A and B are shown apart, each in its own frame.
Chain A
Amino acid sequence: MAEFNRRDFLKAGAVATTATAAACSYDYVVPQEKVLPYVVNPENVQPGLASYYASLCNGCATACGLVARNKDGRVVGVEGNPDHPSGPGLCTRGHFDLVATYGPDRVAGPSDGNAALSWDDANKRVADAITAATAAGKSVAWLGRYRSGSVAALLDVASARGIRRVNWEPLGVDALLAAARMSYQVDELPVYELAGAKTIVSFGYDFLHTAFGSMGMAKGWAKAKDPSHDGFVTRLVAIEPRLGQSSSQADHWLSAVPGTEQAVAAALARLCAEANGYAGPTLTLVNEADVPKIAAASGIAETKLREVAAWLTSGPSVVLPGGPSTAGAQAAHLAEATFLCNEVLGNVGRTVQFGRGSRPGHVSSYADVKSLLDDATAGKIGVLFLDGVDIVHLAPAGLDAAAALAQCDLVVQLANEPDDSSGAKTLLLPTGSGLEQWSDANTETGLHVLGQPAMVPLKDSRAVGDVLLGLVKALPAPPAAVPTDPAAPVVIDVATLAGAATTFADFLKARWLALVKPAEAEPTAWWRDVQAKGVFVHKVAPTSPVWTGGPVSELPAGPPAGDVALVLFAGHLAEGRWANVPWAQELPDPISTYFWTTWAELSPATAARLGLDEKDLVKITTDQGSIEVGWFGSPAVRDDVVAVIVGNGKKTGKYAKGRGANPYRLLSAEAGWYGSLPLSGARASITRVVGNSGVHALVGSMHQDGRSVAVNVNVDDAVNNLVGAAGSIVPIHHLPTDPRVEAAGPVDMYPEPQHPTYRFAMTIDANACNGCGACQIACAVENNTPFVGPDQLRKGRTMSWIRMDRFFEGKGENPDIRYLPVMCQHCAHAPCEGVCPVLATYHNLDGLNAMIYNRCVGTRYCANNCPYTARRFNYHSWEWPESYHLMLNPDLSTREMGVMEKCTFCVQRIRSAKDLHRDVAFAEREAGKPVNMRQNEVPDAELRKLTACAAACPTDAIVFGNWNDDKSSVVKKGTTPRAYTLFGELNTKSAVHYVARVNHNQPANVGHHGGGHGEDHGGAKPDADKGTHGADAHGAAHEEG
C-alpha cells in the first residue's frame, strides 16, 4: 500500500475517469439526420395538422365510403364517411385495407418475378402477349373480384372487345343473385331493411360480417334491437348448423340437419301462409311443402316451426337467405325458398327491397371460374389477368389452378404483393391501395361512391382502371354496337369516353359527369362537391317484382353418408384476403377467440366422442383430401358438423406463409346447382391426432360464472322499463348489514376527484355490439399498438387496448352469446393509481386516468390491481417492421419495452379537439368579441365519436362524451335503467357505462324485486350451474333484487 504514491494515484484516477467516461458514452448514439424545411410549402398543408379526404373503402365488395386522415403525407387513419348511407363507422376490413397499404411485402413496381420492370416495359410485354395470343387463336381472359363503377364499365368495353371476363366473389353472392333471377327475374341483390323487422329468421346469412352490404345491415340490426327505436326488440331466429358472428346474436337457434334448410324454409313459408291467411299466386307452390315430413327430416319439431311462423306473422319480419354455413350444393334454392317466405309474409317491397339493391351487372359463378381454368389447362387461354383473386389458394382440391395458370402464356396479376397464384409466368402489376389510387363504386342502385387518392402512392403503382384503360385501348374496337352501362339512367358511350381519356382519373371524371351528375348541375361546382363528400346519391324507389320461382321444398335424397358434415366459414381474414395483415391475423375470432391459424369448431359432444385433449389436432378427411388443424369446442355447432375457418393455409406472404391449413382443399371441384361453389355440406370424417396444435383462446372462460359482466335483461322489461331504477340492474354484492348503513350508501375514504370542465366518459351499448372487432383494430391503428405474433399471443400478451369479452351463456336452442368490449374504464377512484410507487399513472382534471410512459418502471402493480384487466405491458420491444412504421400515428409515441400502457380515451384526439376550440376562442377574443370562457368547450357533437373506437363502431354502440354535460349523448345513454358499470360494487366510479343487452329468453325481472342485496347471489356458487344456460338466468334473477 505504501508504494501507492501520488503519481500512481493520478494515473489510476485518469484511467478510472476515462473508463467511466467511455462507459457512459455508450448511450443511445443518435444518428445524424438532416431536417430539411419545405422550400415551397405545399398549398393548404400545415405540418402537424391532418388533411381529410373522402374516399372509398376497398376492403370488400360492398364499397362503403370512408374518410382518410392524412397526416404529414401519409394516411394514418380511416373512418366511415358520415355522408355515405353506411357511415359513420367503418368495419374491420376498412382498417385492414389501410394496414395492407403499408404491408412489407408490397412490390416496388412492376415485376416479372425475376426482375423489376418499368411500366412501359410491362405494358409492352402485356400488349405483345395479347398480340401473340390473338395470333395463336388463344383468348385473353380476366379473372377478378366483383367490380362496379368505372372499372366495371371498362370491363364491359373490354368484354365487348373480346376479353373473356369472369368476376367472382369467393364467399359468394352468386347463389343469392341466381335466386333473385329465378324468383323475380331481376339481376339484383336485394336490400334487407332490418331496422323495421320485429322478427328476423336467418338461414346462415352472415349479415353482420361477410355478407354483401353488411355495414348497412349491422346498422339496421342495431336499430331493430333498440327498444327505444320502434318500441319493440327484434327476435332473431338462426336456422343453420353453426353459429357464427352474425348468428351469435340469435335469440333462438334451430339447427336443421345440414342440407334440409331449404325444405325448412319452404315449410316455414307454408306455415306462415296458414298463419296469416295468405292467398297469393304462389299458394299452390307454398302448399307443396310437406311440413311433418320436413320437420322429421330436419330434426326441428313441427311445433317449433309453427312457433317461428307465429313470430314471423306477428309483425314486420325478414327472412334472410343462407350464408357460408348453409352454402351447400342447393344454396341458390335455399335463397329462393327464403324469397318465397318473404313473398308469403308480404315482405318484398317492404323489408326486402328490390330496385335499390346492388345490380352487379356482371357477376360470374364459380362454374364460370372452373370452366375458365379448365380452358386454361387445355391451353386455350393466352393471357390471363388476375384481379384480386388468389385462385391457387381458393381453388378446391380437384381444380389444379396452379397447373392451369402454368398453361397460360402470360399471367398478369394485378396485386400489390405476390400471393399463392404468383408463378413463373406471372407479371405482377402493382395496382396500389384504394387510398393511393382513383376508384369508384356503384354497389347500390343510385349510390355512387368516389374513391379519391388520399396520399402519394408508396410504391410505383397504377390503378386497376389505368391498366384496364390501357388494355381497352390495345384491343381492336368491335364491329358490333358499343355497350352501354346497364344501370345508367342516361345512355352514355363508355367506349368513346374511354377512348378519349388518357388516364383512368380522366375517364372516371368524364363518366361521372356524363352519368352521375344531374343534368342541371354545374360541372365544376358539382365535381368539387362530390370530391368533398365522396358520395352522390340518386333517390331510387323500390320496385315490386313478380314471383316467377319454382318449387323449393325438396329434401335431400336419403340419409347422408359419412361421419359429419363439413362447414366452412370466414372469420376476420375473409376468404383469405387479409391473411398477410398481421393485425387481422391477431384479431381474435368472435366465437373461439382463436388467432393466427386455422382451426375446426366441434361440439363438445363430438370432442368427447373423439376423446380429444385440448392440445390435440383433428384430422378432417373428405373424399378430396385431408387437413390437420387444432380444434375449438363450441356449444354453437351441431354434433354432426365440423366447421373450419378459411383464410389461412397460404404459401406466400411474410405473415400468411405456413399458418394453418387450407380447408378449400377439402372441397370437391364440382359446382353446385346454379354454378355456386358448395362451401358446406360435404361429408367428412374426423379423427384425433395427438400433437400440439398451438391453438389458444384469448378469452379465458367460456361463460361468466354467474358474474354480472355482460348482463342481459328481458325484452318485455326493457321495452316497458321494468328493469328498475337507473343503476339497479347490477346491485352491489355485500352482506345484509344494518339498514342505517345501507341507507347511508357507499362511503368513500378519499374525496371525489375534481373535474371542473370535462369528465370524459363512454357508454357502450352491449345491445348494439355484435363483437365485430372494428373498435379493436381502429384502436390499434390510431394508438400505434403493435401486433405481437402467435407465440406471444398464446401467452395472452395482446397489446390491443380493447378486449372483447365473449361468453356462451346459453345452451341448445337459446344460445345467448354475449360480447362486451372492455377497455380502461378511467375510474375516478382508480385502483391502479394508488399502487404505482412512482406516480406513473394518475387522475387528471379531465377525468382521464393518465399514464406517463417515461416515468413507468414496470412494477405492473397497476395491472394486477385493475379489476378490468385493461392494462397492457410491453414485454418486449415489439416489431414495427419496415413500412409498417410509416403507418405510425405521429400524434403519439410508441412505447418502449418494460412499460405499461392502456387505453387513453385517445387523449391525442381530445387534445387536438380542445386545442382547436381554444384557438377559435382566442381568435375571437383577439377580434374583440366577448368570449365566454366556456365557449372553448368541445361540443357534444364532436365528442360523441371522438375516440377511434367510437368512430369505428358500425352500430353506434360506443359513444364518447363529457359526463359533466347533462345533455350529452353519453349521459343520456349511460343513465338509462339498463345502464350499469362493470364491477360497480368495487366503487371504482368508472367512466365507462355499459347498457345491458336485451334477450328474448332472459327471465323477466317482474316478481324478483325485494330480498336482500346480493343475498344468495348466483355467482357465489361458481360451479353449481357450470355449463348450463341457467347459470346467468339464475344469477341475474337474484341480482335484480
Chain B
Amino acid sequence: MSDKLTYSQVNRDVMRPLFNATSLWWGFMAIVGLGLAYGAVCWGIQLVWGLGVAGYHPPVFWGVYITTFVFWVGIGHAGTLISAILFLTRSRWRTGIYRAAEAMTIFAVMTAALFPAIHVGRAWQAYWLFPYPNQRQLWQNFKSPLMWDVFAISTYFTVSTVFFLIGLVPDIAAVRDNTRGWTRRLYAAMALGWRGTDRQWHHYMAAYGFFAALATPLVLSVHSVVSWDFAMANTPGWHSTIFPPYFVAGAIYSGCAMVITLMLPLTKFFKLEAYIHIWHFEHLAKLCMFTGGILTYAYGTEYFVAWYSDNPYEWGVFVDRVVGKYWWVFWIMFMCNCVLPLVWWFKKVRTSFMGLFVVSLIINVGMWFERFNIIASSLAHSFDPAAWVYYTPTYIEIGILIFSFAWFLLWFLLFVKIMPSVAIAEVKETLRPPLKSEGVAAK
C-alpha cells in the first residue's frame, strides 16, 4: 500500500460514503424502488391467479425462476471464495475487495432464497419444505435434492453471514468510534465490545481462521448440491456426473464477474482507487479466465459424453440446444461465456476500466443464459417427442427477474451506506504503523 496513506486517512476514506446519502445514491434507490414495486405487483398477480401467469409450457415445469435462483446462488460464490479461501491461502490481493464481495454473497443468497417461494405452486405452503415438528407427524423426504438444497442454502447463508459479521467487528468498532447518538449504540452492539486489545486480536484471528476453514468446503458444496437438483434427475441434459464441478466453476466464474461489475463503479463513485486498484480487478479477471476455461472444457465434455454414450435422448437434447428451437439461448451462452471473455487474455483489456466492466457484464448475461439453457432446453426436449415444446417467459417472469436484481441492489446500496465497504483493519495491516512522534491517533 501507498506510503502516503495513514491510518486516519484510511478511516476517513472508507467511512466517507457512510451516513451522507448523495443524490446519486438516492437515484439508484429510486430505480431499485421501481423495480421492487413492479416485481411485487407481478408476484401479487401470480399469487392470486396462479403460476399460469408465468409462461410454463409442460413439460417445461421449471423456467425463469429456477434459472434466476441458480444464477443468484452462483453469484453468491465469489464472496466466500475470496474472503475464506484466499484468506487461508494468504493471497494479499483479497484485502481491498473481500468485504464488498462477501456482502454481495450474502445478498445474492438472500435473493436466491426468495425463489423457492416464488416458484412453488402454493407459496403459502412453502414452509412445508422445512422439517419442523407438527401435529400431523409429517416429515420431509430426505431423498429429494430439493431437500438438500434447503439445507445447503440455509447452512451457507448462516455461515457466510456469521463469517461476514465477524470480519466486520474491528471495522464496526472503528465506525462506532466515529459516530454519536443512537447510531453509536447500534454499532457498539455490533462491535461486540471490541477494544482492539492484543488479547482480543489473538482470539479474533484464531476465530476468523476457524470460520474461514468452515466456510471453505461450503463454497464447493453449495453449488454441488444445487447442481444435484439437476444431476439427480433423469432428464436428458441434466443427468450428468460432471455437474458439480461444472456448476462450481460456473458459479465462481459468474461470482467473480459480478464482483467486478459491482466494485468497479463502487470504486469510482466512492473514490476508493487508493485501496482497490485495477490490479485487484486483474486478479479477479484471471480467476474468471481460469474458471471460464474450466467451463468451456465442461461444455465440451458434456457434448463428448452425450455423443460417446450413444444415448439418443441425451444426444437429442444436446443437438437440439445448438440447432433446435433454443438455438439463440445456446449461442448467447456460448458467445458470452466462452468466446467474448477471451479478450481478457490481452492484458490491455483486462486492465482497462471499460474492458473489465463490459466483459464482466457479458459474463453475467452468459451465465444467466447458461442456466436457462440447461433448464428450459432439457425439459423442452426430453424423452417423448410427443411432449416436445417451446417455452418462453411472460412479463410476469421478467418482472420477477427485475425484482430479484432490485432486491439485491437494495441490500447492496444499504450496505454501502451502513458498513465500510473496504476492510479498514486489514488495509491498515498493510500500512506502516504510525508512530507516536507523528501525533496521529491510531485507531
With A700-B389, A898-B50, A1017-B310 in contact, is A868–B383 under 8 Å at CB? Answer: yes
Within 8 A of B (CB), among A795-814: 795-798, 803, 805-807
Closest to B315 in A: A1020
- Tell me, rounded to whole Å, the shortest Cβ–Cβ distance linking B53 to chain A: 8
Contact A707 B121 (CB under 8 A): no
Q: With a CB–CB cut-off of 8 A, which chain B residues contact A896? A: 122
Q: Is A496 an interface residue (CB 8 A)?
A: no
- Tell me, rounded to whole Å, the shortest Cβ–Cβ distance linking A858 to chain B: 2
- Tell me, rounded to whole Å, the shortest Cβ–Cβ distance linking A481 to chain B: 62
A contacts with B, residue count (CB < 8 A): 67
Task: State A869–B141 Cα separation when bound (angstroms).
Answer: 22
Task: State A333–B138 Cα separation when bound (angstroms).
Answer: 72
Q: With a CB–CB cut-off of 8 A, which chain A residues contact B126? A: 857
Q: Which of A231-239, A245-253, A670-678, A873-881 contacts B (4 or more CB under 8 A)?
A: A873-881
Contact A857 B121 (CB under 8 A): yes
Instruction: Choose among A822, A855, A856, A1019 the residue that contacts B121 (Cβ–Cβ < 8 A).
Output: A856
Q: Is A1015 an interface residue (CB 8 A)?
A: yes
Task: State A797–B55 Cα separation when bound (angstroms).
Answer: 10
Q: Is A123 an interface residue (CB 8 A)?
A: no
Q: Which of B18-26, B84-92, B144-152, B420-428 contacts A (4 or more CB under 8 A)?
A: B144-152
Q: With a CB–CB cut-off of 8 A, which chain A residues contact B52? A: 792, 797, 875-876
Q: Is A983 an interface residue (CB 8 A)?
A: yes
Q: With a CB–CB cut-off of 8 A, which chain A residues contact B315? A: 1020, 1022
- Tell me, rounded to whole Å, the shortest Cβ–Cβ distance linking B193 to chain A: 21
Within 8 A of A (CB), among B87-120: 116, 119-120
With A857-B128, A873-B58 in contact, is A900–B139 under 8 Å at CB? Answer: no
Q: With a CB–CB cut-off of 8 A, which chain B residues contact A701? A: 385-386, 388
Q: Which interface class (under 10, 10 to 19, 20 to 34, 35 or more) fits B? A: 35 or more
Task: State A311–B123 Cα separation when bound (angstroms).
Answer: 64
Closest to B233 in A: A865
Residues 38-65 of B, flagged 1 when their CB comes within 8 A of A and 0 if not, give 0000000000011110011111011000
Closest to A841 in B: B141
Q: Is A986 an interface residue (CB 8 A)?
A: yes
- Tell me, rounded to whole Å, the shortest Cβ–Cβ distance linking B311 to chain A: 6
Q: Is A936 an interface residue (CB 8 A)?
A: no
Q: With a CB–CB cut-off of 8 A, which chain B residues contact A795? A: 55-58
Task: State A87–B353 Cα separation when bound (angstroms).
Answer: 79
Q: With a CB–CB cut-off of 8 A, which chain A residues contact B146? A: 835, 837, 859, 861
Residues 227-256 of B, flagged 1 when their CB comes within 8 A of A and 0 if not, give 001001111000000000000000000000
Residues 977-1007 of A, flagged 1 when their CB comes within 8 A of B and 0 if not, give 0000011001000000000000000000000
CB within 8 Å: A-B pair count = 196
Q: Is B316 an interface residue (CB 8 A)?
A: yes
Within 8 A of B (CB), among A995-1038: 1014-1020, 1022-1023
Task: State A803–B389 Cα separation when bound (angstroms).
Answer: 14
Instruction: Choose among A699, A835, A866, A898 the residue that contacts B232 (Cβ–Cβ < 8 A).
Output: A835
Contact A822 B386 (CB under 8 A): yes
Q: With a CB–CB cut-off of 8 A, which chain A residues contact B319? A: 1022-1023
Contact B147 A897 (CB under 8 A): no
Task: State A866–B384 Cα separation when bound (angstroms).
Answer: 10
Within 8 A of B (CB), among A747-793: 792
Q: Is A228 an interface residue (CB 8 A)?
A: no
Q: With a CB–CB cut-off of 8 A, which chain B residues contact A106? A: none
With A857-B125, A1022-B312, A1022-B315 in contact, is A705–B389 under 8 Å at CB? Answer: no
- Tell me, rounded to whole Å, the shortest Cβ–Cβ distance linking A1006 to chain B: 24
Contact B50 A875 (CB under 8 A): yes
Contact A858 B51 (CB under 8 A): yes
Q: Is B412 an interface residue (CB 8 A)?
A: no
With A795-B57, A838-B141, A1015-B310 in contact, is A897–B50 under 8 Å at CB? Answer: yes
Task: State A863–B61 Cα separation when bound (angstroms).
Answer: 7
Task: State A157–B283 Cα separation when bound (angstroms).
Answer: 100
Q: Is B9 an interface residue (CB 8 A)?
A: no
- Tell me, rounded to whole Å, the shortest Cβ–Cβ distance linking B275 to chain A: 38
Q: With a CB–CB cut-off of 8 A, which chain A residues contact B145? A: 835, 861
Contact B385 A709 (CB under 8 A): yes
Q: Is B379 an interface residue (CB 8 A)?
A: yes
Task: State A861–B382 Cα separation when bound (angstroms).
Answer: 14
Contact A733 B385 (CB under 8 A): no
Residues 672-710 of A, flagged 1 when their CB comes within 8 A of B and 0 if not, give 000000000000000000000000000111011111010
Task: State A422–B384 Cα separation when bound (angstroms).
Answer: 46
Q: Is A836 an interface residue (CB 8 A)?
A: yes
Instruction: Choose among B128, B141, B379 the residue that contacts A864 (Cβ–Cβ < 8 A).
Output: B379
Instruction: Choose among B320, B384, B389 the residue that contacts A867 (Cβ–Cβ < 8 A).
Output: B384
Contact A836 B384 (CB under 8 A): no
User: Residue among B310, B379, B383 with the most chain A CB within 10 A?
Assistant: B310
Q: Is B274 an interface residue (CB 8 A)?
A: no
Q: With a CB–CB cut-off of 8 A, which chain B residues contact A874? A: 50, 121
Within 8 A of A (CB), among B361-411: 379, 382-389
Instruction: Choose among B59, B122, B141, B229 the residue that contacts A898 (Cβ–Cβ < 8 A).
Output: B122
Contact A700 B140 (CB under 8 A): no
With A807-B385, A869-B382 in contact, is A898–B121 under 8 Å at CB? Answer: yes
Contact A839 B232 (CB under 8 A): no
With A836-B144, A865-B235 in contact, is A806–B386 under 8 Å at CB? Answer: yes
Contact A855 B316 (CB under 8 A): no
With A864-B61, A875-B52 in contact, is A837–B387 under 8 Å at CB? Answer: no
- Tell me, rounded to whole Å, the shortest Cβ–Cβ distance linking A303 to chain B: 35
Contact B144 A834 (CB under 8 A): yes
Q: Is B143 an interface residue (CB 8 A)?
A: yes
Contact A835 B233 (CB under 8 A): yes
Closest to B116 in A: A859
Q: Is B129 an interface residue (CB 8 A)?
A: yes
Q: With a CB–CB cut-off of 8 A, which chain B residues contact A839? A: 138-141
Q: Is A136 an interface residue (CB 8 A)?
A: no
With A795-B57, A805-B384 in contact, is A735–B310 under 8 Å at CB? Answer: yes
Q: With a CB–CB cut-off of 8 A, which chain A residues contact B383? A: 707, 867-869, 983, 986
Q: Is B309 an interface residue (CB 8 A)?
A: yes
Closest to B390 in A: A700
Q: Is A651 an interface residue (CB 8 A)?
A: no
Q: Is B327 an interface residue (CB 8 A)?
A: no
Contact B51 A873 (CB under 8 A): yes
Q: Is A517 an interface residue (CB 8 A)?
A: no
Closest to A1019 in B: B312
Q: Is A483 an interface residue (CB 8 A)?
A: no
- Tell me, rounded to whole Å, the shortest Cβ–Cβ distance linking B4 to chain A: 45
With A857-B128, A873-B61 in contact, is A899–B310 under 8 Å at CB? Answer: no
Contact A864 B62 (CB under 8 A): yes
Task: State A717–B385 Cα separation when bound (angstroms).
Answer: 27
Q: With a CB–CB cut-off of 8 A, which chain A residues contact B141? A: 834, 836-839
Contact B234 A867 (CB under 8 A): yes
Q: With a CB–CB cut-off of 8 A, which chain B residues contact A705? A: 312, 316, 385
Q: Is A379 an interface residue (CB 8 A)?
A: no
Q: With a CB–CB cut-off of 8 A, which chain A residues contact B144? A: 834-837, 861
Task: State A988–B110 Cα separation when bound (angstroms).
Answer: 37
With A856-B122, A868-B384, A897-B50 in contact, is A861–B233 under 8 Å at CB? Answer: yes
Contact B129 A700 (CB under 8 A): no
Q: Is A872 an interface residue (CB 8 A)?
A: yes
- Tell me, rounded to whole Å, the shortest Cβ–Cβ distance linking A657 to chain B: 23
Task: State A867–B58 Cα separation when bound (angstroms).
Answer: 12
Q: Please, could you name 15 A-B residue pairs with CB atoms under 8 Å apart, sorted by A?
A: A699-B386, A707-B384, A795-B58, A834-B143, A834-B144, A835-B144, A855-B128, A861-B61, A861-B146, A864-B62, A867-B383, A875-B51, A875-B56, A898-B50, A1022-B315
Pairs of residues from A and B, 5 with the lowest C-beta to C-beta distance, nearest first: A858-B121, A898-B121, A1019-B312, A875-B52, A700-B388
5 more CB-based (< 8 A) A-B contacts, given A859-B129, A899-B121: A705-B385, A805-B384, A858-B121, A861-B61, A1022-B319
Which A residues are closer than 8 A to B by beta carbons?
699-701, 703-707, 709, 733-735, 792, 795-798, 803, 805-807, 820, 822, 831, 834-839, 855-861, 863-869, 872-877, 896-900, 982-983, 986, 1014-1020, 1022-1023
